Amino acid sequence: MSSPWSQRREVSPETSRLLIERAHEELVAGNGADRRLLDVRPLVRESWRRSLESLVGAEGVPPLDLTAADIEQYRSAHPLAGVMEMVRALLLPGEADESGVVIAVGDAAGRLLWIEGDRHIRSLTGDMGFTEGANWSESAVGTSAPGTALALDRSVQIRGAEHFNRLVQPWSCTAAPVHDPETRRLLGVVDVTGGLEAVTPQAQLLVDATARAIEGELLVARLRQRAAASTPPRRSARRPDATRAVLRVLGRDRALLEVQAAGVESVSELGPRHAELLLMLAVHRQGLSAERLAELVYGDAGTADTLRAEMVRLRKVLERAAPAFIPESRPYRLAAELETDAHQMLSLLDRGAHRVALAAYRGDVLPDSTSPGVEEFRDTVRTALREALMSEASGDVLLAFAETDIGAEDVDLLRLCLRLLPARSPKRAGLVARIERLEATA
């Protein structure tokens, strides 16, 4: 079956891209009375004003509201989970990986829960933060089809330069809200993102029809459930609120342990040795013998007796801060899964969200630690970040990476940035000077 996006139609925008860009620059600069704003569609102009009122930056990536672990749990219980096969059939027939567009389904808050479609476009849009778990509401990222459709509760098309965020302006998108078929409560949003083929009249008709088909399918599913129910549903026992924790080790020697239990959040700072121990247990989730854990933390000088004494002290700290994460012994392991900000960053790289991953990278893992296990994990994180960015990231992300501690002295990275820059870019001279300086001192 051919893709519905394969037949492209020329779209005649009401204003040229240049006029819209200039109007956007004037508004962001504070010149809200500039007459060039009248050349912008009223829908877009008002969305820009709401974006300014929400203090949205004209550049930057959206906040990542849901981690990979959060997404799996959250979307499995979301009302739209049961209609995803229908969404794929309607919007991505045939070879989805070569469809020429990306489809996204988000919740009522604008958080993207499913992103599927053209593999190449997904890698490019992921670079601007268009990734699962990211918040694309107007208040988070400004004017975009998903966020503006939710804000206005109607289908919306946003073309290129009409986006408030400059990083999103290479793309165009169409989105429509989805409602509960009985209560009309807002459930989420369906979006198609790509080039001009994503904002044709055909695209809007198809996205609108998909949203209505979703609502119809939800109603039919409910009616079937009610008809099949011969007895009233039994009340299930209320599950206690799960305890979740994140160990923050990027750019920090005294790690932070952030714990959320029963709706209450707490933050504890750990000493260097306790941070090393807890990090090793988070990395080696299968568990470690006393001898192996001592070797990872203390090196050749470590003994099991030294380790056991330190583990007693760590348990006392965790009894107050996070009882659910007190390590078990024989082998030493964590009964509950402990996330780290380093693993969250690696997950972002896997999802193609290079710009978001780079923003999440606060520095090396426990930078002053000399524990062999920490040094090994630190190198793993560094290498994964470098290889992912150099093989897949855009030029401006690579330039930002070149300003970090681990990128500043990387000649190969600087040469790659130089190749990706336009011939007349003013940044070329600075890169050439840095490369020559590094080569002279090598």
Q: What is the pLDDT of residues 34-87, one digit of tens each?
A: 566 667 889 998 998 899 888 888 888 899 999 887 888 899 899 999 999 999
- Of residues 278 and 396, more confidently modeled: 278
CA distance to 275, 296, 383, per residue, from 327 (Å): 13, 16, 29
Q: What is the pLDDT of residues 87-113, one digit of tens each?
A: 998 998 777 777 889 999 999 999 999
Residue written as token pair 């990476």: 401
Please report, for the domain that includes residue 221, its CATH number.
Answer: 3.30.450.40
Q: Is residue 71 within a helix (H) or strand (E), and if so which, with residue range?
A: helix 68-76
**Integer distance in angstroms from the first to the last C-alpha of the chain?**
57
Please report, for the domain that includes residue 269, its CATH number.
Answer: 1.10.10.10
Q: Residue range 413-431: average pLDDT?
A: 90
Residue 347 has pLDDT above 50, yes or no: yes
Same domain, yes or no: 182 and 273: no
Q: 157 in a domain, yes or no? A: yes
β-bridge pairing 186-194 and 102-107: antiparallel
Q: Is residue 43 within a helix (H) or strand (E), and if so which, with residue range?
A: helix 42-53
Same domain, yes or no: 165 and 284: no
Maximum separation of any 2 CA atoms in the chain, in Å: 81
Same domain, yes or no: 271 and 217: no
pLDDT at 4: 56
Q: What is the pLDDT of residues 348-390, one digit of tens each?
A: 888 878 888 888 898 999 999 999 999 999 999 999 999 999 8
pLDDT at 70: 85
Same domain, yes or no: 131 and 200: yes
Q: What is the pLDDT of residues 247-300, one digit of tens each?
A: 999 999 899 998 887 667 788 999 999 999 999 999 999 999 999 999 999 998
With cut-offs at 50, 70 and 90, classify the pLDDT of residue 29. Answer: low
CB 208 within 8 A of CB 189: no
Same domain, yes or no: 214 and 323: no
Same domain, yes or no: 130 and 216: yes
Cα separation, 207 vs 189, whole angstroms = 10
pLDDT at 9: 42
- Of residues 266 and 6, more confidently modeled: 266
**Exposure pattern of 84-107 as b/e (b: 16+ CB <10 Å)?**
beebbebbbeeebeebbbbbbbbb
Same domain, yes or no: 195 and 68: yes
Structural domain that includes position 139: 56-227
pLDDT at 238: 45
Q: 275 in a domain, yes or no? A: yes
Residue 214 has pLDDT above 60, yes or no: yes
Same domain, yes or no: 273 and 343: yes
Q: What is the pLDDT of residues 231-252, one digit of tens each?
A: 555 554 444 456 788 999 999 9
Cα separation, 158 vs 173, whole angstroms = 5
pLDDT at 19: 64
Residue 8 has pLDDT above 80, yes or no: no
Same domain, yes or no: 180 and 153: yes
- Segments in 153-303 forming alpha helices (H): 201-228, 272-283, 290-298
Number of domains in the chain: 2
Q: What is the pLDDT of residues 129-188, one digit of tens each?
A: 999 999 999 999 999 999 999 999 999 999 998 999 999 999 999 999 999 998 999 999
pLDDT at 357: 86
Beta bridge partners of 265: 260
Q: What angle do CA 50, 53, 58 make, to 5 degrees?
A: 80
Same domain, yes or no: 200 and 317: no
